[in-house]
Structures are given as C-alpha cells and as structure tokens.
Copies of this chain bind each other. A is one copy, B any other.
Amino acid sequence: MSGCVAVAGLGPGDDRLVTDEVRAALADATDVVGYLPYVARVAPREGLILHPSDNRVELDRANLALDIAAEGGRVVIVSSGDPGVFAMASALFEALERRSDPDAFEIRVLPGITAMLAAAARLGAPLGHDFCAINLSDNLKPWDLVEHRLKLAAQAGFAMAFYNPRSKSRPHQFARALDILRQECGPDRLISFARAVTTPEERLETMTLAEAMPEMADMRTMVLVGNADTRRVGQFVYTPRSAR
C-alpha cells in the first residue's frame, strides 16, 4: 500500500454542515488538493500543504493526489457538497483506472451534504417523493441527452434537481430546458431557485414554471422542480410522500 487518498465533501458552505469524519481526515492530512475556492475553506496549519487548482482540471487534480500518495503522503481531495455527486470521486476513480497499480492505494470516499439536499432543506421538502438529479452542463455529455433525460424524468413524475444549470459560456441551454419543462409539466408546476445555500449570499425563490426566467440561475444556483403534487405551505414548498 503506497499511500492513501480520501476524497471528502465539505458540504454546501456552512461549517456546521461539515462532518467530524471529514474534519478528522483534514486534521490527519499532509496534503489537501482541490479547486481553489474549496481549498480556501480548509484552515492552514503547520505540516499541511495546500494544492489549489483551477476549474475543469479534475483528472490532473486526481493524478496529483495519487502522485503525492505514491510518495507516502496522506492526501485529502476536497469537493464542495458530496464528492460522489457531480464532484471529484468519479474523477479520482477514472484516474485510478488508468494507473498501472490501482490496488496500491488506500482510497476512501467521505460523504458530505450535497447541494440539492441542503437547498431542499432550506426550501422545505421539495424532494420528498421520488426524484432525480441531473447535471445540466454539456461539458461531459451531449446536450441532446440532457433534453432526452428531462423529458423522460418529467414523464416519470420525478421531482428534479439540476446542478450547474447555467454558465456564461452556454446561456441558452437553460432557457431551452425551461421550455421543455413547461411543455412536459405545464405552466403551473413549481420551480425553486436556491442560490449559495447556507452562505451569507443565500437567496431562495419559488414560483411557477410560467414565471421562471433563465436569468434566475447561475452556476451557484441549484434549481429544483416539483412533481405534479408539489405545493406551498406558508413560506415553504414541499412534495407529499404519497402519489396517485
């Protein structure tokens, strides 16, 4: 066993949502690897080397972690949210698969509070029945597949959570996604925009699909769409446990 790599979820932002398991891994680490804003959430200390990297270099980052571990380091790769949900865990296994010695590493995945569940908790319980999670970015899959999934998810009656709904480089796709949802679910279906949940910049908005505008989402926004039974109670939005 040449070294160990833990890929850890820091949760959505609030330090009170970091698990003790993740804290213990960070306290024991020699090296922390990750996207710059996530590494910035780790308190510096003597004996801990921070390796912040840029966005969209997930495989390079995973390989850096494996290289350091191969030299005997105890490495933690930090993700926001949960590392297994559109984050670094899959990238680590992709990198591991390409190495000649995948069994030489001790790998641990340390779960965290993923953005959709933090957003759902702040909104009420919009994911209280069967639901799906879709990454709306077409960096790693064709946009046609996103459209296909949106249609089938709506026909299945899933509540839906969308990660990476809209970026500056592809502003029109989320508009198209809203069009598909209006067509499949009707104009009265509830949609919530939850931005930067559990941080000082948190902003929560719920409205009908008819009222939703593409500009309401950016890359720090989770978008949640209810199923046909999703409704408001007071300031909250929730999906009942039962379905017809």
A173 touches B (CB below 8 Å): no
Most buried by B among A24, A125, A153: A125
Most buried by B among A130, A134, A243: A130
Copies of this chain, count: 2
A158 touches B (CB below 8 Å): yes
Question: Which partner residue on chain B sits nearest A19 by CB separation?
Answer: B17
Given contacts A19-B113, A121-B84, A149-B156, contact A97 B58 (CB under 8 A): no
A175 touches B (CB below 8 Å): no
Per-residue CB contact flags for chain A residues 82-93 toward chain B (1 = under 8 Å, else 0) read 111110011111
Q: Quick check: which of A37-45, A66-74, A215-223, A232-240 contacts chain B, the rest being far away?
A: A232-240
Most buried by B among A86, A126, A241: A241
- A-B CB contact pairs (8 Å), 28 listed: A15-B20, A16-B24, A17-B20, A19-B113, A83-B125, A84-B120, A84-B121, A86-B241, A89-B125, A90-B125, A90-B240, A91-B241, A93-B124, A93-B128, A93-B236, A97-B233, A109-B125, A111-B113, A111-B117, A130-B133, A131-B132, A132-B156, A132-B158, A140-B242, A140-B243, A142-B243, A145-B157, A149-B157
